[in-house]
Structure 1
Amino acid sequence: MHSQAPTRDPEAMRRPDEMPTLSEPGDSQLLAKMGYKQELKRQYSTAQVFAVAFSIMGLVPSIASTLSFSLPAGPVGMVWGWLTASIFILLVGLAMADLASAMPTAGGLYWWTHYFAGEKYKNPLSFLIGYSNTLGLIGGICSVDYTLALMIISCVSISRDDGWTASRGVIYAVYVGLILLHAISAALSGRIMPKIQTACIYINISLVIATVIALPVGKVVRGEALNSGNFVFRHLDNQTEWPTGWAFMLAWLAPIWSIGSFDSCVHMSEEALHAAKAVPLGIIWSAGSACVLGFLTLTVMAATMDPNVSNTINSKFGQPMAQIYYDALGKDGALGFMIVLCFIQYIIGLSLIVAASRQAWAFSRDGALPFSTFFRHISKRIQYQPVRMICGLAVICLILGLLCLINSAASNALFSLFVASNYLSWGMPIFCRLVWGQDRFYPGEFYTGRFSKPIACIAVIYLLFGVILSMFPTTGPNPSPADMNYTIVINGFVWAGCMTYYFLFARRWFTGPRMTVDDSSSTNSDNETSRSGAFGRGSAIDTKGE
């Protein structure tokens, strides 16, 4: 069943003018086995691939963005909710890492779905996952920049100290400026983006260290006692109308959203050096570090926050994290930390639009998106960047951002689009591998061995639960229109619309991943393998070689 290992033909590898500068032969041949020629420039090391996901997670800013999900369950929801959910998320990362090492491509999630799914289902499921993943990442960009707009406004509120709050029009104006700035930065910073990602590792870790030191020191200097260990680890509050146990489960939404971007490593596969190793390690390192560092940060926050949880939830600054900083460090200290949080949140948005543009570009390369021929273009003048796709994503984000002009419930729809659509996209290829493709899976350089299948089973069950959990209103079973969770409406519309579009139109021309490799960029055996792998006819891709 294994394909013969391809022989390397130096002349064939050198014919495309750009090929020697874009990729090492080993990476380009592995990509050719999946049917694609090298078009993006490989410049990301293993650490930099990890940095993309780690910077998108941006632990402290992400924790600040999602405290409203975990705070209603009190310190137990914050601390133990994070740890419990993040362990399951790490298992999902391990399951994804197995696939990413074997088949590293920018459109990995929908590509794997097509490869593993049964013959009747591969095209519609691949189409669904490609759109779900793309729109989920777009929702992530919107929610990150919307949250950043609120954080910037909270800094203004802290500095004015007069109870000023911004109108929704002002919030949207700040949001528009951030989206445009992100698009310009992502398009023009291709040459230095790997270095930016490397710097983000140190910046994010430094902020974690600064937070866990400054908060307790600030409380002590102000002559206030820290909360007891019993409060931090055993105090379960319930600021919702749900039963206490379910309020704790809803606290999982904080880590679900915060640790929701390690699939960005997959989307950087065609720019990673030695992708079969770099991508899975990036996934595992990012998920694992988020688990440990997030638990540490939240423990310290629980030890220094106001014991009256409702005071923090209903902060006059509109940001619970701003209130925690303010209570421990005073006005100047809180303002200083919030400014740093805003800067890192900006980097999160920048990294996210980079990863999202690669996924959307890969999907347009396979002809699935409207105007694919236009958007799949790679600009050689601007460091081999998908500039047109970056601009297209910015336009879509500006349109979706109009939701924030309605009310907070409409704005939260951006969060729900990110979580539910991404979880469906993560779970489907793992599910397809278990149901249809177990015999077609050949491990890459990273493999969890005999634990691979049990890990995949747990991952699928957890992801299904995560999708269901994201659809519950967080305040209680009888929410007002302003508190309603519109996840089922937003994502239901996306999924139903996608499938309607497919069966009415796209099924006539979408046949799954398209081959872009030719005889000048791969050997004949590469081509044959890519045909059998990409379209599910014949043997599986053997990334280990013979």
Structure 2
Amino acid sequence: MSKNMDTPTAVEANAAAEEAGLADPNDMQLLAKMGYKQELRRQYSTVQIFAVAFSIMGLVPSIASTIAFSLPAGPAGMVWGWFTASIFIFFVGLAMADMASGMPTAGGLYWWTHYFAGEKYKNALSFLVGYSNTLGLIGGMCSVDYTLSLMLLACVSITRDGEYTPSNGTIYGVYVGLIILHAVAGIFTGSIMPKIQTFCIYINAAIIVATVIALPVGKVARGGELNSGSFVFGHVDNATSWPTGWAFMLSFLAPIWSIGFFDSCVHMSEEALHAAKAVPLGIIYSAGSACVLGFLVLSVIAATMNPDVTATLGTVFRQPMAQIYFDALGKQGALGFMGVLIVIQFLIGLSLIVAASRQAWAFSRDGALPFSSYFRHISKRIRYQPVRAIVGLVVICIIFGLLCLINAIAANALFSLFVASNYVAWGTPILCRLVWGNERFVPGEFYTGRFSRPVAMVAVVWLAFGLVLSMFPSMGPNPTAMDMNYTIVINGFVWVACMTYYFLFAHKWYTGPKMTIDISSSEGGSETVPGSKEAGSKEATD
């Protein structure tokens, strides 16, 4: 960790932050041991940290957004694909929670990479992880608002009995409007954002209960029959030209995308109360609940959907979940549920832009992004919000969203940008800990004990598999230009450009996370992290 010149001492920085009412002294001291002064206001409880991740996952809207990835494998592929993948994803959450408890900082993933990696590799790997995580979150923002635009326009199509089909230009225009609206809301709702996150728990729970009850009741009330248990849990389809086994594997993409935002808890670390406990619990609660509740919701969907999978996939509404609601509940029922999904999807985008802005701000604080001195600014006038980081993210999202103008396949690359970039960002610090950091890792308040290393190993293997899986064309081998999965192109460009930028220019000035307080003048000259042996011995002598 490098140190800026003329930085305040830990005592001075903490005193200033405490005077401003930003945080509890214990949280400030924990952050100070990692070299950072408190700049954001800590106002999120453990429940609200969980709510951030749970809200961004937005289980039913996320299932609606990604059901096209799992439907080709049929009901059994959809249900068991979710269950299987979500178990492995939970291992990733456990591995991340171990590190988040000991070292809770907004830039966690790239900070951990730098801390654990070997001396020769730490700067380059930290740089790669920071860019991958930032761009992965941008991909998530783009895909959430792209899906939201499709949901809104699907409602228009339903009201016109399927006779309206939006153009790509219309979809992009709605998408841009939503991105801007999210930015404005993210900037000016900072003071009530924790309460918004709490509300998100209730509305997400309500739509899960309503979906589980209304779909089967509505299906029967309209004279339909529920699909049998053997159909739901045993019928495998294959609407692709891949072998059936691989088509089942590709159904993993739905939970990979849907249960992919628990790292948002990490990015909220510097706004969490009692971060060493709140952040890891937020991670495992959100990942665990998504596993169980997603399996329940998809089982009900499989029991009520049209047995003809291709009919649902080829819906005139351009949104398979809209067709499922329409088939079970009719026009008015479908519009009602889609309306609630739209509200929740909007809240997902709002929560995501908050989390993404914290990662971008933290990376700018460490001088890694272009124009870092500009984007690392915190607006005290607007309640300690990283306003410039939010605006920068919006501009990039509008540019990336131009893919909507090509076709749906190109737009789906936004989903893949999120998956591939984030899987690299999640897997690298876990791998670095396994390879180089065993002696350096000291657990925080949350710890998986003797299972910590085995859990981390499973997580790394799964993340490597998921990364490869995200790059396969979803409909079959020998794809046309229209069916091609452009993940390797987009992410390959991101990774190559990032490393080229680092080795040509950034290596001269990027030396890892930068200290924003002077630990040496107040703590005897040692750079420590929470829970480290050095920190423990120093605290004992103090």
Please report the TM-score for the alignment, with normalisation by the length of structure 1.
0.95
Q: Does the C-alpha gap of structure 1 residues 475 and 343 become closer, same or farther in structure 2, counting only changes over 3 Å?
A: same
Q: Give, in whole Å, the separation in 2 of the partners of 1:72 and 1:10.
A: 56
1:404-449 deviation per Cα after TM superposition (whole angstroms, max 9, x unaligned): 1112222111111000000000000000000000100000000000
Map of 1:465 onto structure 2: 465
Aligned equivalents of 1:382, 1:301: Cα separation in 2: 43
Residues 197 and 329 of structure 1: is their aligned pair in 2 closer, same or farther, counting only changes over 3 Å? same
Matched positions, count:
531
CA deviation vs aligned residue, 1:12-60 (integer Å, no higher than 9, x gap): 5764166450000100000000000000000000000000000000000
Cα distance per residue 1:457-492 (max 9 Å; x no partner): 000000000000000000001111111000000000
Q: Quote the residue 1:355 is aligned against.
A: 355
Q: Give a deviation string over 1:141-171, Cα, whole Å, max 9, x none.
A: 0010001001100000001114210011111
Distance 1:89 1:17 in 2: 37
> How far apart, in 2, do the equivalents of 1:140 and 1:452 lie?
29
Matching residue of 1:3: none
* 2:199 aligned partner, one-letter code: A
Conservation of the 8 A alpha-carbon contact between 2:17 and 2:38: no
**Counterpart mapping for 1:46-445 below 5 A:** 46-445=46-445
Report the more deviating stretch, 170-179 or 14-23. Answer: 14-23
Alignment check: 8 A CA contact 1:69 1:253 kept: yes
Q: Which runs of 5+ in 1 are unaligned?
A: 1-8
Q: Which amino acid aligns with 2:255?
A: P
Matched letter for residue 192 of structure 1: I
Specify the SS of the correspondent of 1:22. coil
CA contact (8 A) 2:152 2:342 kept: yes
Q: What is the CA–CA distance in structure 1 between the aligned matches of 2:13 and 2:521, rounded to whole Å?
A: 9
AA aligned to 2:182 is: H
Residue-by-residue CA offset, 1:245-299 (whole Å, 9 max, x unaligned): 0000000000000000000000000000000000000000000000011000000
Decide whether the 8 Å contact of 1:13 with 1:25 is kept in 2: no
Residues of 2 paired with 1:171 and 1:542: CA distance?
56
What CA distance in whole angstroms lies between the structure 2 residues aligned with 1:421 and 1:459?
Answer: 16
Letter of the 1:115 partner, please give it.
Y
One-letter code of the match for 1:62?
Answer: S
Aligned-pair CA distance for 1:223: 1.5
Give the Å deviation of 1:517. Answer: 1.4
> Tell me, what secondary structure is at the counterpart of 1:442?
coil
SS at match of 1:191: helix
8 Å Cα contact 2:358-2:386 kept in structure 1: yes
Structure 1 pair 108–11 and aligned structure 2 pair: CA distance change class (3 A): closer
Cα distance in 1 for partners of 2:10, 2:437 equals: 34
- For residue 522 of structure 2, what is the aligned residue in structure 1? 524
Question: How far is the alpha carbon of 1:539 from its aligned partner?
Answer: 5.5
* Alignment RMSD: 1.8
- Matching residue's letter, 1:298: L
Shift of 1:240: 0.4
Query: 1:399 Cα deviation (Å)?
Result: 0.8
The separation in 1 between residues aligned to 2:372 and 2:479, in whole angstroms, is 41
Give the whole-Å Cα distance in 2 for the aligned partners of 1:528 and 1:110: 24
Task: Give a deviation string over 1:330-371, Cα, whole Å, max 9, x none.
Answer: 000001100111110000000000000000000000000000
In structure 2, C-alpha distance between the alignment counterparts of 1:460 and 1:541, rounded to whole Å = 29
Find the aligned partners of 2:534 and 2:163 in 1 and give their Cα distance. 62
- 1:445–1:544: 8 Å Cα contact kept in structure 2? no
Partners of 2:538 and 2:194 in 1: CA distance = 28
Q: Flag the 1:540–1:337 CA change in 2: closer, same or farther, 3 A.
A: farther
SS at match of 1:166: coil
Q: 1:90 to 1:313 in 2, by over 3 A?
A: same
Distance 2:390 2:213 in 1: 39
Whole-angstrom distance in 1 between the partners of 2:50 and 2:521: 31
Q: Distance in 1 between matches of 2:17 and 2:116?
A: 34
Letter paired with 2:437? G
TM-score (norm 2): 0.95
Shift of 1:528: 3.9
